[in-house]
Structure 1
Amino acid sequence: MRYAVAIDIGGTNTRVALIDEELNIISREQFSTDNKEPENTLNEICHIIKSFDKDIVGVGMSCPGPLDLINGKVLTPPNLNGKWHNLEISKVLSEKIGKPVYLDNDANLAGLAEAVVGEGKDCNIVQYLTVSTGLGAGFVINKEVYLGAHGFANEVANSIMIQDGPSHGNILPGGIEAISSGTAITERAKKAGLLVKHAGEVNDLALSGNEVAAGIMKDAKNYLANFIALIYGFADPDIVILGGSVALKIDGFVEEIEALVKEKVYGVMKPYIKVRKSTLNEDSGLIGAGYLAFSKQK
C-alpha cells in the first residue's frame, strides 16, 4: 500500500493527515498554526509526518491565499503574516522531508475530491463552489485542477455582480462573495438592524415573513444563480457542486439555485443544468490533497 500526506494550513489551525491510495484517511493530527513564524509550523508538520512511520510518495498541501500555484509560493494572505509572505513553501517543506510537495488552494482541492470520489466522480468537467464564510471555487477537468496561465483560475470572490454593490473586508463592491457568502448574508442583515449570528438565522427570518431578511436571501440566491449561469455559458461543465455551510445547512438552498439557474440559460441548455449538494464532509480538502500527491506520481 502506498501513502501520501495531506496538509491543510489555516490561519488558526493546521491539519496533517496520512492518506492511503484508496483515499482513506488513516491518521490525522491538528495543532495551532504559528501565523507569524512559518518555521515553527513547518517543523511541527515534519514531526507529525515522521510519526506516521510510513514511506510516503509525496505531499499535497493547501494554504490560505492568494497563492502562486505555478511556483508553489504563498503570497500575501491576510491571516498569515511576517515570514509567511512570499514564502516558497513547497520548496522549503520538500527540502525538509525529502519528498515532493504540491501546493493548491482549499477550494481547488475540495473540487478535486468531488471529481474523484464525490458527486462528480462520473463526470469529466466539474465546477465546485463553496458557499460558506467566503465564496471559493475549483474547476476540474478529467480529474485535474485547471490552474490557468498564472495559477489564478477560479479566484472568483471579486467577480462583480452589482455595480457599486455591497462589500466586506477586501472584497470589491458588488463582488459575488460580498453578496452570496454566509458572511455577506449575515453582515448585510446586521447592518439592516437584524439580530442574527449566521446566515441560517437570516434565512429563518425570511421564511417567517421578515421582508428585509427575505430581500437579502433573494439577492444571495439570485446573484449566485446568475454567476452559475455565467459559468455554464462560458465553460459548460457536466455538474456544479455546492459545498460550504450555506449550501449544506439551509434546507432547499441548492435545489432553489438549480431552478433559478435553469431560468437564466438558453432553453437548449436547460436539460444539462445539474447543480448538486456536496456529499463529502469537511475532509474533502484533505482527500483532494492526498489525491493530488498520488496523481503527480503517475
Structure 2
Amino acid sequence: MKYAIGIDIGGTNTRVALINENYEIKERIQFSTDANDPDKTMDKIAETIQSFETDIVGVGMSCPGPLDLINGKNIQTPNLHGKWTGFSVSKELEKRVQIPVYLENDANLAALAESVIGEGKDYDYVQYLTVSTGLGAGLVMHKKIFTGAHGFANEVANSCMKHEGPSHGMIYPGGIEAISSGTAIVERAKKKGLNVAHAGEVNDLALNGNVDAKEIMQEAKIYLANFIANIQAYIDPEIFILGGSVALKIDGFVEEVEELVKMRVFDVVKPYVKVRKSTLNEDSGLLGAACLAFLTLS
C-alpha cells in the first residue's frame, strides 16, 4: 500500500494527514499556524510527517494565496505575514523531509479531489467553486488542474460582477467574493444593522421575512448564478461542484443557484447545466493534496 501526505496550511490552523492510495485518511494532526514565521510551521509539519511510521511517496500541500505555483512560493495573503511573503514553501519543506512536495491552492486541490473521487469522478471537465469565507475556484480537465500561463487560472475572487458594488478587504468593489461569499453576506447584513454571526443566520432571517436579509441572499445567489453562467459559456464544463460552508450548510442554496443558471444560458445548453453539492466536505483539500502527489508521481 502506498501513502502520501496531504497538508492544508490555513491562516489559523495547519492540518497534516496520512492518506493511502485508496484515498482513506489513516491519521490526521492539526496545530496552530505561526502567522509570522513560516520556518516554525515548516518544522512542525516535518516533525509530524516523520512521526508517521510508514513509507511516504510524496506530499501535496495547499497554502493561502495568491501563490506562485511555478516557483512554489507564497506571494501574499491577508492572514499570513512577515517572512511568509515570498517564502518558498514547497522547497523549504522538501529540504526538511527529503520527499517530493507539490504546492497548489486549496480550491484547485478540492477541484482535483472532486474530479478523482468525488461528484466529478465520471466527468472529464469539472469546475469547482468554494463558497465560504472567500470564494475560490478550480478547473480540472482529464484529471489535471488547469493553471493557465502564469499559475493564476481560476483566481476568481476579484471577478467584477457589479459596477460600484460592495467590497471587503482586498477584494475589488463588485467582485464576486464581495457579493456571494459567506464573509460578504455577513458584512452586508451587519451594515444593514442585522445582528448575525454567519451566513446561515442571514438566510434564516430571510426565510422569516426580513427584507434586507432577503435582498442580500437573493443577490448572493443571482450574481453567483451570473458568474457560473459566464463560466458555462466560456468553458462548457460537464459539471459544477459547489463546496464551502455557504453551499453545504444552507438548505436549497445549490439547487436554487442551478435553476438561476439555467435561466441565463441558451436553451440548447440548459440540459447540460449541472450544479451539484460537494460530498467530500471539509476533507476535499486534504484528499486533493494526496491526489496531486499520487497522480504527479504515477
Deviation per CA, 1:236-261: give whole Å up to 9, x if none. 00000011111111111111000000
Contact 2:243–2:281 (8 Å) recurs in 1: no
**CA distance, structure 2, for counterparts of residue 120 and residue 211 of structure 1:** 37
* C-alpha RMSD of the superposition: 0.8
Q: Which residue matches 1:296?
A: 296
Contact 2:72–2:91 (8 Å) recurs in 1: yes
- Deviation of 1:76 after TM superposition, in Å, equals 1.2
Q: Which residue matches 1:196?
A: 196
Q: Which residue matches 2:72?
A: 72
Partner AA of 1:115 in structure 2: S
**CA distance, structure 2, for counterparts of residue 255 and residue 281 of structure 1:** 17
**2:133 aligned with 1:126, yes or no?**
no
Q: Could you say what secondary structure the match of 1:267 adopts?
A: coil
**2:204 aligned with 1:222, yes or no?**
no
Q: Aligned runs of 1:266-277 on 2, under 5 Å?
A: 266-277=266-277
Q: Which residue matches 1:87?
A: 87
Q: Which residue matches 1:245?
A: 245
- Deviation of 1:211 after TM superposition, in Å, equals 1.3
Partner AA of 2:219 in structure 1: D
Q: Which residue matches 1:283?
A: 283
Q: Which residue matches 1:41?
A: 41
**CA distance, structure 1, for counterparts of residue 195 and residue 170 of structure 2:** 24
**CA distance, structure 1, for counterparts of residue 117 and residue 241 of structure 2:** 13
- Deviation of 1:53 after TM superposition, in Å, equals 1.5
Deviation per CA, 1:196-238: give whole Å up to 9, x if none. 1111111111111111111111110000000000000000000
**CA distance, structure 2, for counterparts of residue 218 and residue 289 of structure 1:** 34
Q: Which residue matches 1:259?
A: 259
Q: Aligned runs of 1:126-145 on 2, under 5 Å?
A: 126-145=126-145
Partner AA of 1:287 in structure 2: L
Q: Could you say what secondary structure the match of 1:107 adopts?
A: helix
Contact 2:112–2:144 (8 Å) recurs in 1: yes
Q: Could you say what secondary structure the match of 2:276 adopts?
A: strand
Deviation per CA, 1:26-71: give whole Å up to 9, x if none. 1111111111111111111111111102111110000010100111
Deviation per CA, 1:155-185: give whole Å up to 9, x if none. 0000000011000111000000000011111
Partner AA of 2:94 in structure 1: S
TM-score scaled by structure 2? 0.99
Q: Which residue matches 1:174?
A: 174
Deviation per CA, 1:128-147: give whole Å up to 9, x if none. 00111110111111111111
Partner AA of 2:150 in structure 1: H
Runs of 4+ aligned structure 1 residues displaced above 4 Å come to none
Q: Could you say what secondary structure the match of 1:56 adopts?
A: coil
Partner AA of 2:160 in structure 1: I
Q: Could you say what secondary structure the match of 1:268 adopts?
A: coil
Q: Which residue matches 2:27?
A: 27
**CA distance, structure 2, for counterparts of residue 264 and residue 281 of structure 1:** 28
**CA distance, structure 2, for counterparts of residue 241 and residue 193 of structure 1:** 33
Q: Could you say what secondary structure the match of 1:70 adopts?
A: coil
Gaps of 5+ in 2: none
**CA distance, structure 2, for counterparts of residue 102 and residue 247 of structure 1:** 28
TM-score scaled by structure 1? 0.99
The count of aligned residue pairs is: 298
- Deviation of 1:281 after TM superposition, in Å, equals 2.1
